[in-house]
A and B are shown apart, each in its own frame.
Chain A
Amino acid sequence: EDKVVQSPLSLVVHEGDTVTLNCSYEVTNFRSLLWYKQEKKAPTFLFMLTSSGIEKKSGRLSSILDKKELFSILNITATQTGDSAVYLCAVVSNFGNEKLTFGTGTRLTIIP
């Protein structure tokens, strides 16, 4: 069974802090890893990672993948209250019959 594990489950920090969210996975025929942000209802897409060691960056958010150690991290620098959300990691696996498996999510709370 494909497995995606995120840590920590919950994190509370002060505005301006830097946070690192973790995602490890065990899947058959890895294709790509996706990060999403979920504030209320529909998750919104952040990053897609397919190659090891290549950092993806968008403003204060960045992410990197390690396919040898089977994990990814999502970094958020200079956090703001608007960053408060659940961050979801997902892995696409299989060929021709792609399956999208999500982790449990990390609930990030930013205190003003």
Chain B
Amino acid sequence: DGGITQSPKYLFRKEGQNVTLSCEQNLNHDAMYWYRQDPGQGLRLIYYSQIVNDFQKGDIAEGYSVSREKKESFPLTVTSAQKNPTAFYLCASSLNRGYTEAFFGQGTRLTVV
């Protein structure tokens, strides 16, 4: 089945540790996005990428890093520099033509303990 897969669903991290969230899609989409959602809040854009080996910072990129070595994959690393990393993280992809919907993964809930 075609879709977008995020893993893991739940992740616990100790303060000071880096952690990487996985996002894989087999929809042949060019564009991929990472969002953060806090309780009662909307989606805030962390990073986005339209093509392999290229990505742009979103509105809240500080403390995060990404890579786009393959079209299918867009992993997000939450670094120790992110002061408040506990949140729900959503990955999305689209055809990158401006007139198509974005599809979402099921999300990863990260908790810092």
- Chain A residues within CB distance 8 Å of chain B: 1, 6, 31-32, 34, 41-43, 45, 48, 50, 88, 90, 92, 95-105, 107
Given A1-B59, A100-B92, A102-B43, check contact A34 B99 (CB 8 Å): no
Q: Is the CB of A48 within 8 A of B99?
A: yes
- Chain B residues within CB distance 8 Å of chain A: 31, 33, 35, 40-45, 48, 50, 56, 58-59, 88, 90, 92, 94, 96-107
Q: Is the CB of B99 within 8 A of A32?
A: yes
Q: Is the CB of A41 within 8 A of B98?
A: no
Q: Is the CB of A99 within 8 A of B42?
A: no
Contact of A100 among B41, B88, B102 (CB under 8 A): B102
Contact of B96 among A88, A98, A103 (CB under 8 A): A98
Q: Is the CB of A100 within 8 A of B42?
A: no
Given A88-B43, A105-B42, check contact A41 B107 (CB 8 Å): yes
Some 30 contacts from A to B, beta carbons below 8 A apart, are A31-B98, A32-B99, A34-B101, A41-B88, A41-B106, A41-B107, A42-B104, A42-B105, A42-B107, A43-B43, A45-B102, A88-B43, A90-B102, A92-B98, A92-B99, A96-B50, A98-B50, A98-B96, A98-B97, A99-B48, A99-B56, A99-B58, A100-B31, A100-B33, A100-B48, A100-B94, A102-B35, A104-B42, A105-B41, A105-B42
How far does the Cβ of A70 sit from chain B's closest Cβ, in whole Å? 17
Q: Is the CB of A97 within 8 A of B56?
A: yes
How far does the Cβ of B111 sit from chain A's closest Cβ, in whole Å? 15
Chain B residues with Cβ below 8 Å from A45 are: 101-103
Report the Cα distance A80→B60, complex, angstroms: 36
How far does the Cβ of A6 sit from chain B's closest Cβ, in whole Å? 7
